[in-house]
Chains A and B, each alone.
Chain A
Amino acid sequence: MSLSTVAKYISLTWEMTKSSILSAMEYRVSFLVQVFGMLVNDIALVAIWLIFFQKFPSINGWQFQDTAMLFALTTVNFAIVMIFARGAFEFSKTIARGELDYYLSFPKNVLWHASVSKTDISAIGDLLFGLIIFFFSGDISLEKIGLFAVIGVLTALIFLNFIIITQSITFYVGNFEEAAEQMFHALLGFTLYPQTAFYGALKIIMLTIIPAFFIATLPVQLIQKFNLEFFLILLGFWILTTIIATIIFRRGLRRYESGNLINVKM
């Protein structure tokens, strides 16, 4: 894929998301309720850790500031995926219902098109929350802002790959919708807690099936103290998951059977 193709896809992604957001903004009250509702929702999540750290000030060196940075990063990477590629989260349903036909008739990449077809408006609230908490989470330098942006995007891409892999299992086994959603929630679940509390077999799960280590633990460490070696590991993990996600989706697509549905998209 040439650089100009990548640039084209990025600008198309931007245009599609922009039009989704603008059409959602037509319903002004609903739009504001979703965005600010999510903001309040996220604040409640931080509140529980404020209480927790009053009782247990440090968990193996992990303090409230670390949790704040963890929340900043994970709400931002979650928001990036949900704003730009909410469609990926619905692959399982789309495949099972035979609704992928619509995207097959277009000249653009099917995986990309189906992913960017939807936007989760409430995720804008998550993005705002993540940015606010990042700017209040201690000493902020220009370097740190850049690092946060790069790692935010990189972990969002890993997150997206995880969603594509789990949702695409439906191509092979039929009904995997609920299981894929549960795996997604398990991943989110891991990102709530002090990351230094986990050990043993649970840590192995975090490194493999539910890769919370690469979406939360390692990136937070990197933002707080940059280390080239760890950064390359994160980059390598992104490349690896991209290859797996592409292969699973492409092979699965060959098995896909049309639902023969006639849909009119307005």
Chain B
Amino acid sequence: MSEVKTLQNGSGLFGYKFLKYFEIAKVNYFNSSAYLVNLISRSAIVVIRIWIFTQLYKVSYSISGVSEIGGLTVAMVVWSLMMTQSFQTATRPQLSKLIDEEVKSGTLAYSVNRPYSYILFHFSGFIGRSIPNLFINLFIGSLAAIVLVGPIGFGWKALVFGAVLLLFGYILDFFVSLIIGLTAFWVEDTSAFTWIYSKGQLVFGGLILPIALFPDYLQKIAELLPFSQMYYGAARLIVHFDLSLFLQYFATQLIWILFFGVVAYYLFNKGIKHVSVNGG
């Protein structure tokens, strides 16, 4: 009711307009945190994964006889992998699949007629869903990392700049997922695109192997690709802060967001022309 009053008073129209997106995010937030058992089983997997990384990299570093590779120690590698995994898995269920289903089932036809922007509606849902998962993943992941490799120090600067990269990383992931989902307007089956996208993230997104550990020439390529700019950038900066690296990652991120944002907007407007509402 309060939002209705604000509107009737004639003031805060701008605030009202954005309030609905906040409400969408809130609904998705509570929906996602309601299934505690699911969250716990997901967390157990996060712990096992970090445990695997710890043993793998401890063995790998000790065989190489070095304590630091590309500026990262074993503890930093494990923390950075914990973070990229936590950031990425928090976005489940996959947005591309949700959009794909809406396009195929035709529910999109109803959504586009409602008084909100379809793209902003999904963005709010995407962020709202991800937040509770993100905090639980990070909480469980950090506990596991502290037990397995011990704490690592990171200052407020690393956290603040890392958070900025993470937020923009989510925007970038959102646009690419949206594009994959929207291709359902033209192709029968989008699942292959989803697999390839997630494998792109796995190889170049620092989810198993941090890009700092790549051979030099490959590292340069990987850092220019969008996959590394989603979640690896934020994690890398948090474990080992470097202002020039932040500027480089942030600039790359913005260019990709602009590119994919334009493509998504174009595809959405083109696809929407395929929609015919038959009523009933």
Taking Cβ atoms with an 8 Å cutoff, the residues of A that contact B are 27, 29-30, 33-34, 36-38, 40-41, 44-45, 47-48, 51-52, 54-56, 58-60, 122, 175, 178-179, 182-183, 185-186, 189-190, 192-194, 196-200, 202, 205, 210
Tell me whether B38 is interfacial, beta carbon within 8 Å: yes
* Docked complex Cα distance between A199 and B58 (Å): 11
Bound form: Cα–Cα A246–B162 in Å: 51
> What distance in Å separates the Cβ of A127 from its nearest Cβ neighbour in chain B?
16
Contact B215 A51 (CB under 8 A): yes
Known: A33-B189, A55-B60. 4 other contacts (CB 8 A): A41-B192, A51-B209, A189-B48, A205-B48
B64-A38 in contact (CB<8A): no
Q: B interface vs A, CB < 8 Å?
A: 35, 37-38, 41-42, 44-45, 48-49, 51-52, 55-56, 59-60, 63-64, 69, 187-189, 191-193, 195-196, 199-200, 202-203, 208-209, 213-215, 218
Are B196 and A37 in contact (CB-based, < 8 A)? yes
Q: Does B189 lie within 8 Å of A30, measured CB to CB? A: yes
Query: Chain B contacts of A182 at CB under 8 A?
Result: 41-42, 44-45
In the assembled complex, which residues on chain B have CB atoms less than 8 Å from the CB atom of A189? 45, 48-49, 52
For A38, A51, A54, A58, the residue with the greatest tally of chain B CB atoms inside 10 Å of its CB is A51
User: What are the residues of chain A within 8 A of B215 when measuring CB–CB?
Assistant: 51, 54-55
A34, A45, A193, A197: which contacts B192 (Cβ < 8 A)?
Answer: A34
Q: Do the beta carbons of A193 and B45 come within 8 Å of each other?
A: no
**23 CB-based A-B contacts, threshold 8 Å:** A33-B187, A33-B188, A33-B189, A34-B191, A37-B191, A37-B195, A38-B195, A40-B192, A40-B196, A41-B192, A44-B202, A51-B209, A52-B208, A55-B64, A56-B60, A60-B63, A185-B45, A186-B44, A186-B48, A189-B48, A190-B52, A197-B60, A198-B52
Shortest Cβ distance from A194 into B: residue: B56
Known: A47-B203, A190-B52, A205-B48. A60 touches B188 (CB 8 A): no
> Are A199 and B52 in touch, CB under 8 angstroms?
no
> Could you say which residues of chain A place their CB within 8 Å of the CB of B59?
59-60, 196-197
Whether B214 contacts A51 by the Cβ 8 Å rule is: yes
Provide the residues of chain B in CB contact with A175, threshold 8 Å.
Answer: 37
Cβ-defined contact, B45 with A186, below 8 A: yes
- Contact call A178/B41, Cβ cutoff below 8 A: yes
**Which of B63, B191, B214 makes the CB contact (< 8 A) with A56?**
B63
The secondary structure that dominates the B interface is: helix
Q: From A177, which residue of chain B is reached at the shortest CB distance?
A: B38
CB distance from A21 to the nearest CB of B (A): 16
State A54–B215 Cα separation when bound (angstroms): 8
Output the least CB separation between B155 and chain A (Å).
29
A55-B69 CB under 8 A given contacts A34-B191, A194-B56, A198-B52: yes
Q: Is the CB of A58 within 8 A of B63?
A: yes
Return chain B residues, CB-CB under 8 Å to A194: 56
A27 touches B69 (CB 8 A): no
Would you give the shortest CB distance from A41 to chain B, in whole angstroms? 4
Report the separation of the CA atoms of residues A210 and B41 in the bound assembly, to the nearest whole angstrom.
Answer: 14
CB contact under 8 A between A36 and B199, given known A59-B63, A186-B45: no
A202 touches B191 (CB 8 A): no
> Does B209 contact A59, Cβ atoms closer than 8 Å?
no
Q: Across the two chains, which residue of chain A brings its CB closest to B219?
A: A51
Q: Which residues of B contact A34 (CB under 8 A)?
A: 189, 191-192
B188 touches A202 (CB 8 A): no
CB < 8 Å neighbour of A55 from B35, B37, B48, B213: B213
Contacts of B44 in A (CB 8 A): 182, 186
Most chain B CB within 10 A, of A41, A183, A196, is at A41
Contact A48–B209 (Cβ < 8 Å): yes
Q: Which of B52, B191, B203 is in CB contact (< 8 Å) with A122?
A: B191
Q: Which residues of A contact B45 (CB under 8 A)?
A: 182, 185-186, 189
B189 nearest CB neighbor, chain A only: A30
Q: Give the shortest distance, in Å, between B191 (CB) and chain A (any CB).
A: 7
B264 to chain A, nearest CB (A): 21
Q: Which residue of B lies closest to A199 (CB)?
A: B55
Residue in chain B with minimal CB distance to A190: B52
